[in-house]
């Protein structure tokens, strides 16, 4: 009797195992096709538990472990393949799978050796093995995958006897896309549909080709996405893509596609609560965003998606709750992985920090992180400028200048405005030497523009208030040299008049050159005969009794800039009658646009 029971038990077990093997490999692959990797993993885990040497199940289990964009278990998949290969060393499929792992680890040559070994073991006649090699090398998330190698091996698969696998052609299309060969990709996807006209993935992939070409191709890619849904209403990836497409300009439509995606994904999407909260935020329902995000966090506990804290921070910032926003962002940065933090996160948090005195240095740290995270020059400049403008609004011109200077240093071709903003901010902050250094950059890049020389002169005059070092002379003489030949002097009148007045005062009080002072006075008078300072000079300079030997009268030619003194002068200005200084306390000019 016991022998009969044992025999029946064995027979029943074998029937169950055979049924699972016959049905569930394809069931698991179907979940994988729909990108329900958690469900796929569950199926393959049961198969492997029933038979650890089921190499097909082991291969697909490993693929399910490394497929998700988030939470890839590369180490776990590698150990799975390694352990199974010990007992199945001639498995071409697992060898190819191990090559996939090595590509993910950046071991390009080791991976290639694995792939070639797998081809040798299968004599190049196993479609599943060639597909595995193609999938690894056409994976968009693997930068060192070889698209051309994938094309070569996948083409080989299509030539094998009895070939009729649409997956191969879809992988071939992916490989062509990786090579930026849209035409080759389109043909491959169309070939997949020739084999299986209901293969929704191929229609979806064609739509993705046109999606990369921008909004001008909207009618085309939407047609293909809708075709994919018509072929298979359960094809999940298309719904997420449509949610993403509409999110920026039609949040209601985006929400509809998101809900379809989440319903089909079920438990395979652990962050469904987060996604539904993003729609609240996108709809401008900021109070509801906070409430729902807090509910999601309470339900998930320690496994809550850190992005929920970020959403609370953004929403509370919109609600003008700076304290709440600051607290939420602190938790976001505490729990989120650094590689998942974007430049906007850093920039927003730094802007919020600036609302709390004493956090300026910390805010600067985060904006620097934002700049590092942004991949574009334009994006980096926007971030730097956002902080500079903030400091400028607070009249903290020194810090504003430092951030404007970072823009100058960052840009390959800084504009006049970029350099001006930095130099002028340093001037307003009371740091004339830094202003001179920046405006010297301006004069080098734009040598025909009066403005740079003017501000070098102004800042130099702040340092050399007595004019005894003649620091501002070369710059102001250059202003005159550039400005006088201009037919329309209306735009540079302020700069030119300031240069004239400086030279009048210098020649009269320091150089004791009455003819020179009068010459500059006459030039200034021609520019603006109503100027009070100039009218006073015309009256007072002829009356001066100058002790120094008069210099030779200047001609109409632009003056030659004097050489700077080797070291600061130590003699005091001569006493006696002096020309009154020009009125230099006028309101600062508006920022250059």
Residues 218-269 have pLDDT tens digits of: 999 999 999 999 999 999 999 999 999 999 889 999 999 999 999 999 999 9
Whether the per-residue pLDDT at 585 is higher than 50: the answer is: no
| Tens digits of residue pLDDT in 471-523 | 999 999 999 999 999 999 999 999 999 999 999 999 999 999 999 999 999 99
Say how many C-beta atoms besides its own lie within 10 A of residue 570's C-beta. 6
First to last CA, the chain: 99
State the pLDDT confidence band at 86, using cuts at 50, 70 and 90.
Answer: very high
Whether the per-residue pLDDT at 575 is higher than 60: the answer is: no
Tell me if residue 203 falls in helix, strand or coil.
Answer: helix
pLDDT of residue 434: 97
Q: Which two tokens stand for residue 186?
A: 């389109």
Q: Between residues 427 and 574, which one has the greater pLDDT?
A: 427
Whether the per-residue pLDDT at 31 is higher than 90: the answer is: yes
Whether the per-residue pLDDT at 461 is higher than 70: the answer is: yes
| Over residues 569-586, mean pLDDT | 35
pLDDT of residue 547: 59
Mean pLDDT of the chain: 88
| Over residues 416-433, mean pLDDT | 97
pTM: 0.68
Q: Name the nearest CA neighbour of 315 among 362, 279, 264, 354.
A: 279
Burial class of residue 318, CB neighbours in 10 A (0-12, 13-18, 19+): middle
Q: Which residue has the tokens 């080791």?
A: 110
Whether the per-residue pLDDT at 576 is higher than 90: the answer is: no
Listed range (5-14, 115-124, 246-255, 291-300) with the worst mean pLDDT: 5-14
| Over residues 161-183, mean pLDDT | 96
Percentage, residues of the chain above pLDDT 90: 77
**For residues 61 and 197, what is the distance between their CA atoms, to the nearest angstrom?**
28
Whether the per-residue pLDDT at 372 is higher than 90: the answer is: no
**For residues 132 and 171, what is the distance between their CA atoms, to the nearest angstrom?**
9
Q: Name the nearest CA neighbour of 66 among 132, 149, 153.
A: 132
What string of DSSP letters covers 24-91? HHHHHHHHHHTT-HHHHHHHHHHHHHH-TT-HHHHHHHHHHHH-SSSS--HHHHHHHHHHHHHH-TT-
Q: Name the nearest CA neighbour of 424 among 438, 411, 444, 410.
A: 438
| Tens digits of residue pLDDT in 129-156 | 999 999 999 998 898 999 999 999 999 9
pLDDT of residue 240: 97
Q: How far is CA 213 from CA 171, 220, 244, 378, 468, in A?
A: 21, 10, 15, 21, 65
| Over residues 370-378, mean pLDDT | 87
Whether the per-residue pLDDT at 533 is higher than 60: the answer is: yes
| Tens digits of residue pLDDT in 327-358 | 999 999 999 999 899 989 998 998 899 888 88
């Amino acid at each position: 009797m016991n022998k009969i029971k044992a025999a029946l038990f064995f027979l029943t077990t074998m029937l169950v195992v055979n049924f699972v093997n016959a049905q569930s490999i394809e069931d698991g692959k179907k979940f994988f096709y729909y990108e329900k990797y958690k469900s796929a993993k569950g199926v393959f885990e049961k198969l492997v538990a029933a038979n650890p040497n089921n190499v097909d199940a082991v291969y697909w289990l490993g693929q399910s472990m490394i497929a998700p964009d988030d939470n890839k278990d590369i180490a776990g998949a590698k150990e799975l393949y390694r352990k199974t290969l010990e007992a199945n060393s001639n498995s071409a499929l697992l060898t190819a799978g191990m090559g996939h792992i090595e590509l993910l680890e950046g071991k390009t040559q080791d991976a290639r050796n694995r792939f070639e070994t797998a081809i040798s073991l299968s004599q190049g006649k196993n479609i599943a093995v060639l597909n595995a090699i193609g999938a690894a090398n056409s994976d968009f998330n693997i930068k060192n995958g070889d698209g051309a190698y994938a094309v070569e091996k996948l083409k080989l698969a299509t030539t094998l006897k009895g070939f009729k696998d649409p997956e191969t052609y879809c992988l071939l299309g992916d490989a062509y896309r990786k090579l930026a060969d849209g035409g080759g990709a389109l043909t491959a996807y169309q070939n997949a549909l020739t084999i299986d006209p209901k293969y929704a993935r191929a229609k979806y992939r064609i739509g993705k080709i046109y999606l990369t070409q921008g909004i001008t191709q909207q009618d085309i890619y939407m047609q293909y996405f809708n075709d994919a849904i018509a072929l298979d209403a359960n094809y999940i990836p298309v719904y997420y893509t449509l949610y993403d497409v509409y999110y920026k300009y039609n949040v209601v439509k985006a929400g509809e596609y998101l809900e379809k995606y989440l319903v089909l994904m079920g438990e395979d999407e652990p962050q469904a609560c987060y996604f539904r909260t993003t729609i609240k935020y996108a709809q401008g329902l900021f109070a509801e965003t906070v409430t729902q995000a807090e509910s999601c966090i309470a339900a998930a506990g320690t496994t809550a998606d850190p992005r929920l804290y970020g959403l609370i921070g953004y929403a509370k910032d919109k609600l003008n709750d700076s304290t709440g926003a600051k607290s939420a962002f602190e938790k976001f940065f505490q729990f989120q992985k650094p590689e998942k933090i974007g430049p906007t996160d850093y920039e927003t948090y730094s802007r919020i920090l600036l609302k709390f005195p004493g956090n300026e240095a910390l805010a600067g740290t985060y904006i620097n992180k934002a700049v590092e995270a942004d991949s574009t020059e334009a994006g980096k400049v926007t971030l730097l400028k956002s902080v500079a403008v903030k400091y400028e609004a607070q009249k903290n011109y020194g810090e504003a200048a430092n951030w404007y200077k970072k823009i100058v240093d960052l840009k390959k071709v800084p504009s006049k405005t970029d350099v001006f903003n930095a130099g002028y901010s340093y001037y307003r902050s009371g740091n004339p030497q830094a202003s001179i250094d920046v405006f010297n950059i301006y004069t080098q890049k734009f040598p025909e523009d009066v403005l740079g020389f003017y501000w070098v002169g102004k800042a130099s005059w702040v340092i050399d208030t007595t004019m005894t070092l003649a620091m501002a002379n070369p710059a102001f003489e250059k202003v005159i040299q550039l400005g006088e030949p201009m037919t329309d002097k209306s735009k540079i009148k302020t700069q030119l008049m300031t240069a004239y007045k400086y030279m009048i005062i210098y020649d009269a009080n320091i150089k004791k050159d009455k003819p020179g002072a009068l010459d500059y006075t006459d030039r200034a008078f021609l520019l603006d005969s109503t100027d009070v300072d100039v009218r006073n000079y015309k009256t007072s300079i002829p009356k001066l009794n100058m002790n120094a030997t008069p210099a030779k009268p200047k001609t109409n030619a632009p003056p030659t800039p004097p050489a700077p003194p080797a070291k600061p002068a130590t003699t005091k200005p001569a006493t006696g009658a002096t020309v009154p200084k020009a009125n230099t306390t006028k309101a600062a000019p508006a920022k250059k646009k």
